[in-house]
């Protein structure tokens, strides 16, 4: 049986997430699955989960991100959240690439009807 205990996000990742969302007043923040998350219009746009940064994308962007090494987000094994993909570490480490992918997530979430 796999260990189902979730680990805290690394402090440097939490700090990077907080810094990113702090400059975007259109985003509201709260915890999801015990991790920092940012919402727009009531929809999750981006969040952390353990050591991963997650974004919500249109399917074409999600496919492009998977081609770059992103993985579908499964908070529990076998239970994927459709449209959510984790960013590869190489993108998280590159501020310009990170900004571009989170901007795509925000753009996508803006197309959804507010909750």
Q: Cα(84)–Cα(5) distance, rounded to whole angstroms?
A: 21
pLDDT of residue 50: 95
Q: What domains can be seen in the chain, in order of their start residue? A: 11-110 (3.90.1150)
Can you list the residues of the chain whose pLDDT is less than 50? 1-3
Residues 5-28 as b/e (b if ≥16 CB within 10 A, e otherwise) read eeeebeeebeebbeebbeebeebe
pTM of the model: 0.91
Cβ pair 41, 28 in contact under 8 A: no
pLDDT of residue 2: 44
Secondary-structure percent of the chain, ordered helix, strand, coil, rounded to 5: 35, 25, 40
pLDDT of residue 1: 34
């Amino acid at each position: 049986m796999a260990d189902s205990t979730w680990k805290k996000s690394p402090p440097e990742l939490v700090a990077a997430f907080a810094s990113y969302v702090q400059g975007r007043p259109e985003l509201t923040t709260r915890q999801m699955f015990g991790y920092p998350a940012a919402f727009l219009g009531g929809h999750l746009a981006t969040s952390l989960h353990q050591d991963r940064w997650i974004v919500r994308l249109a399917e074409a962007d999600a496919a492009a991100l998977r081609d770059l090494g992103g993985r579908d987000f499964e908070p529990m094994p076998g239970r994927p959240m459709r449209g959510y993909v984790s960013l590869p570490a190489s993108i998280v480490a590159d501020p310009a690439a990170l900004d571009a992918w989170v901007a795509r997530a925000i753009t996508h979430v803006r197309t959804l009807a507010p909750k």
